[in-house]
Chains A and B, each alone.
Chain A
Amino acid sequence: MRRNDVRVVILGCGRVGANVATTMSREGHHVTIIDRNPDSFGRLAADFTGRQVLGNGIDEETLRDAELDKADAFLAVTNGDNRNIMSVQMAKVRFKVPKVVARIYDPNRAYAYSELGIDTICTTCVGAGLMRDMILGRPFGQIHDYTHMGLGEDQYE
């Protein structure tokens, strides 16, 4: 294996999860993907070489089964904002994973948890920002240019 490869555990094999998993697997990283529905693994490309773990991502046993204790990074991309929030905190506190990222749809929740030191990606905000820039013909910005998109001024200070 190359020197820059990482061990990543991805929770949620939806469109985003399967896409990240396939891409990182092709790049030579060690990928483990967790989903509670076995059909979801069908979204992975045929050349995916990582591991599939069937189970509930907010259950410690499942995460242990996915060898989260040996992971360099954990990514939570289930449909549920709160599941993602809870699982990344589990990964941080219980498994001491150095890098954890949660996808959160709700901009307010994403902002609140980023303040608490959790790396969040609010795909709602980023998507909205990119679309606006595309419409206006502006060059795309950095991710932090989009994290406050659409938030009320009273909601963050």
Chain B
Amino acid sequence: MSKKSPMYVIVVGAGKVGYHLAKTLIQEGQEVLLLEKDKKTAEAFRDSLGELIVHGDGCEIRTMSEVGMGRANVVVAVTGDDEDNLVVCQMAKRKFGVPRTIARVNDPKNEELFKELGIDQTISSTRIIFNLLEQQIETGQVIPLAALKRGDIEVVEATITSSSNTLGMKIGKLNLPPKALIISVIRDEYAIIPHSDTKLREGDSVIAIIQSEHEKELRAVFE
């Protein structure tokens, strides 16, 4: 990532999510600006972020112009209010032509609505945690990592434990459901590209893509 020319990312809302996101992006070598409506909150991060935090309302055209919204590659709105996140992203996109807008959605019901209203991506921590819990309750083995194309295809992770049926099996011998593909095995913190002779060991994390409707079958394989 650092080899490519850096992206200009504007993060709106200096709560915990916004602050840590900004810090992480800075460490990744991206050009980052964090915008915060509340003056006290903005000042509190001054020591840590210096010029990279600006006090201002991310929905005000004047502020948006001042921080160079027009040349931003990505705008991420992560305030605690869904209506503010929506307006930040819509204004960024429609008024300033920002190519990619990401909104945090506090009420998971708003995810679909935001997409219909032109927001490129939404993140709902409620939904993510709920999905994790749901999966944990069902098996504890297969965890969804991401949903692609509105959830038709999912990226999932399965951990091989000492009690896994698949322990010691070759990938080629796995009885995978249709439309499933194993794309990587994470072993000792390294991602390896597996082949049909790769044997699954305890502690391996298997990353697979699967059509949502076959996810249950895949889960059964890795029980």
Residue of B nearest to A84 (CB): B83
CB contacts (< 8 Å) of A155 on chain B: these are 61
Task: Tell me the B43-66 residues at the A interface (CB within 8 Å).
Answer: 59-62, 65
CB contacts (< 8 Å) of A86 on chain B: these are 82-83, 86-87
Tell me if B217 is interfacial: C-beta within 8 Å of chain A.
Answer: no
Contact with A60, one of B60, B84, B94, B109 (Cβ below 8 angstroms): B109
Contact present for B113 and A90 (CB under 8 Å): yes
Contact present for B113 and A109 (CB under 8 Å): no
Tell me if A34 is interfacial: C-beta within 8 Å of chain B.
Answer: no
Tell me if A69 is interfacial: C-beta within 8 Å of chain B.
Answer: no
Interface digits, B7-37 against A, CB 8 Å rule (1 contact, 0 not)? 0000000000000000000000000000000
Contact with B83, one of A83, A108, A112 (Cβ below 8 angstroms): A83
User: Could you tell me how many residues of chain B have their Cβ less than 8 Å away from some Cβ of chain A?
Assistant: 20
Across chains A and B, the number of contacting residue pairs, with CB separation under 8 Å, is 49
Give the complex CA separation of A83 and B107 in angstroms. 14
Tell me if B188 is interfacial: C-beta within 8 Å of chain A.
Answer: no
CB contacts (< 8 Å) of A154 on chain B: these are 65
CB contacts (< 8 Å) of A81 on chain B: these are 59, 87
**Closest CB in chain B relative to A86 CB, distance in Å:** 4
Contact with B113, one of A80, A94, A108, A116 (Cβ below 8 angstroms): A94
**Closest CB in chain B relative to A92 CB, distance in Å:** 9
Contact with B87, one of A60, A109, A115 (Cβ below 8 angstroms): A109
**Closest CB in chain A relative to B192 CB, distance in Å:** 45
Contact surface of B with A, Cβ cutoff 8 Å: 59-62, 65, 81-84, 86-87, 90-91, 94-95, 107, 109, 113, 116-117
Contact surface of A with B, Cβ cutoff 8 Å: 58-60, 80-83, 85-86, 89-90, 93-94, 106, 108-109, 112, 115-116, 154-155
Q: List 26 A-B contacts (CB under 8 A).
A: A58-B83, A59-B107, A59-B109, A60-B109, A80-B83, A81-B59, A82-B84, A82-B86, A82-B87, A83-B83, A85-B86, A85-B87, A86-B87, A89-B113, A93-B113, A93-B116, A94-B113, A106-B59, A109-B59, A109-B61, A112-B61, A112-B91, A112-B95, A115-B94, A154-B65, A155-B61
